A and B are shown apart, each in its own frame.
Chain A
Amino acid sequence: MKNRFIQRYSKALIVFLFSVLSTLAYGQEISGDAANGKTLFNANCASCHKLDKKAIGPALGDVTERRSTEWLVKWIVNNAELRASGDEEAIAIFEEYNGSVMPAFPGLSEQDVMDILVYTVEGQKKAAPEEAGTGAVAGGEPVEPDNTVPLLILGAILAFLVYLLVTVKNTLKRVQGQPTTSLAEDANIITRTALKNPKIVTLLTILIAIVFFQQLYIALMSVGISEKYQPSQPIKFSHELHAGQNQIDCNYCHYGARKGKHSNIPSAGVCMNCHMQVQEGPKYGTEEIAKIYAAVGWDPETYQYIEGYEQKPIKWIRIHNLPDLAYFNHSQHVTAGQIACQTCHGPIQEMEEVYQYSSLTMGWCVNCHRETQVQVKSNDYYTEMHEKLKEKYGEDAQITVEMIGGLECGKCHY
């Protein structure tokens, strides 16, 4: 009896030990500092790996379930050595990724690697509920207050009141034995009496003339000026996010402004510099970024350009458009003149949707050329010219663009 108990007990013990050992082998027993792991992961691994998605290398969120800790440590510290030792798993993964080489990290201690592995587990756990959260937020997009329904209801009530009054009036007339009139007939009688009164007619004519000429003036003055023009673009690109929050230099994307006449719209390839990696935006999720992928033929799942894809241009709508009779050169203003983009384009870094900030009229150009002082100091472009100007206007003179010929007709019209 006692013997049998021991036998059973030991059997159970062996099973228990086996199960513990097997779980151990698949990395359940890793302890470490997830915060340190995150720092190390972001600095060393994130350039090729993501937790939840395949990037250049495989997704790492569940790596501790797929591989043993011992193997992972060897692989991370020096994967070439592991491959050279003939480890089949290592060679298989190397070949699966077409022989892209993962660098060795001899600088990482075993504890560092443990920290990173802890972070891959913790980070993945955290990412899952977060995603659900952002989904809910994206669903509850701020909707513009829609007044149509209340207005329609109000209109219906008013129409009903008018109908009610007409009925009351007609009922009263019928009671008194007078002939009843319809609404249209009433309106006709009222206007006819009013129009027979010369005072009312004069007043009305004057009022209408004032409104008419005021509107005509406004309309004519705005011909040729597209200030506040704000067309909807094919992609809801936010300058507020890219130039404002992320503080990316304007010249990063509009790299032509420093060098040439035109400040270019960046090619989709420039978008892809970052959006290969950043596949989800804070406001529209993947929807808007997917439009770039559709244009260039990028598959975010396989992390590769689709072969033989017919690329399509993104048809941005041009906002700032000077007449062809006026010459304007961006590099002249940006590089030589060292004028900030915002001087003409307004607070771009705050614009969710870009609009034309300045009027871009000739008066506006000329006014700025009269007032703006040439930045001659620490500006190599003007070194030689500055000496001559000092001779002409005196040592302390403030030199405006006008003084260096900024108002000559031929500068802009030729």
Chain B
Amino acid sequence: MSKLKLFTYSGVAAVMLGFTACNDKEHPGWEYMPDMYRGPALNTFQAYDQFEDSLSARLPVEGTIPRGFLAYDKLPNTPEGYERSKTETKMPADFPSDSLTLSEGGKLYGIYCAHCHGEKGDGNGILVQLEKYVGVPAYDTREINLGSIFHVVTYGKGVMGSHAAQVTPEERWKVAQYVMKLRSELLGVTEEPAEEDAGATADAAGSEETTETNEG
């Protein structure tokens, strides 16, 4: 009798231990009805063994264009491509350049650019101040325009990587407009950079090409 009781008690103790052992931070815990919680449909980024590389997120067929995609001329990611972007990459004529667009550009700038390029575009963002990342030029020291900014955001340049995955073409034009605003502020020009200004800068860059071929 007493032996039986001993067995029951130790059994209870084992079950209790089993419950407490679940409080492991490596384990997400139990679910009441996993079948109901986890449907057969794949979640984002979920691995899927049916494909050889186990990636459930498949690439679209080559040449696929998403709906509403803002097309842009793809220049090669080379120094020549960068030079050509200054004259050849043009913002769509009907792209808005009002204050709302600028403020949206400013928000995007704060997310994607400011930690290196600085709030004012002086190349003195928090990462540069901490000396974790160096070699960020101020916008007013380089001959840039909307087209070249678009090109650089798309492909990166020098120590800057490509931001094409993070910033859509529309967003790139917004950011480019905001960067031009920061640049003109740094240069001490008060008027807002309208498209004519950008064109003029591009022309200037073109005409100066003989002397500044290596700006890049």
- Chain A positions within 8 Å of B, measured between CB atoms, are 41-48, 55-56, 78-80, 100-104, 107, 191-192, 195, 208, 211-212, 215-216, 218-219, 222-226, 228-232, 245-249, 251-252, 255, 261-262, 264-265, 267, 269-270, 272-274, 276-278, 313, 315-316, 318, 321, 323-325, 355
Closest to B41 in A: A324
Partner of A48, one of B29, B39, B135, B156: B135
Q: What's the interface size class on B, roughly?
A: 35 or more
Interchain CB contact under 8 A, B25 and A229: yes
Per-residue 0/1 for B82-122: is the Cβ within 8 Å of any A Cβ (1 yes, 0 no)?
A: 00000000000000000000000000001110110000000
Interchain CB contact under 8 A, B158 and A47: yes
Interchain CB contact under 8 A, A232 and B130: no
20 residue pairs A–B, Cβ–Cβ below 8 Å: A45-B135, A48-B159, A101-B216, A103-B215, A195-B2, A212-B15, A215-B19, A222-B29, A223-B31, A224-B30, A226-B29, A246-B115, A255-B165, A255-B167, A262-B45, A264-B45, A270-B165, A277-B133, A323-B31, A355-B25
- Chain B positions within 8 Å of A, measured between CB atoms, are 2, 5-6, 9, 12, 15-16, 19-20, 22-23, 25-32, 36-39, 41, 43-45, 47, 53-55, 79, 110-112, 114-115, 123, 126-128, 130-138, 141, 156, 158-163, 165-167, 212-216
A33 to chain B, nearest CB (A): 18
A102-B214, A229-B25 are known contacts. Are A215 and B16 too (CB-CB below 8 A)? yes
Interchain CB contact under 8 A, A104 and B19: no
* 11 more CB-based (< 8 A) A-B contacts, given A101-B79, A191-B6, A261-B44: A44-B137, A48-B135, A195-B5, A208-B12, A219-B19, A246-B130, A246-B132, A264-B44, A269-B161, A318-B43, A321-B43
A221 to chain B, nearest CB (A): 11
Interchain CB contact under 8 A, B28 and A80: no
A115 to chain B, nearest CB (A): 16
A105 to chain B, nearest CB (A): 9
Closest to B143 in A: A103
Interchain CB contact under 8 A, A212 and B16: yes
Interchain CB contact under 8 A, B115 and A104: no
Interchain CB contact under 8 A, B38 and A226: no
Between A and B, how many residue pairs show CB distances below 8 Å?
A: 163
Q: A102–B160 Cα gap in the complex (Å)? A: 16
> Across chains A and B, which 10 residue pairs bring their CB atoms closest together, nearest first?
A46-B135, A47-B135, A273-B161, A47-B158, A323-B37, A46-B134, A226-B28, A42-B134, A219-B19, A230-B25
Partner of B38, one of A41, A231, A278, A324: A324
Closest to A45 in B: B135
Interchain CB contact under 8 A, A219 and B22: yes
B171 to chain A, nearest CB (A): 10
A191-B6, A222-B29, A224-B31 are known contacts. Are A276 and B22 too (CB-CB below 8 A)? no
Q: A103–B82 Cα gap in the complex (Å)? A: 13
Contacts of B6 in A (CB 8 A): 191
Contacts of A255 in B (CB 8 A): 165-167
Interchain CB contact under 8 A, A318 and B45: yes
B82 to chain A, nearest CB (A): 9
Interchain CB contact under 8 A, A223 and B32: yes
Contacts of B36 in A (CB 8 A): 323, 325
* B22, B53, B114, B214, most chain A CB atoms within 10 A: B214
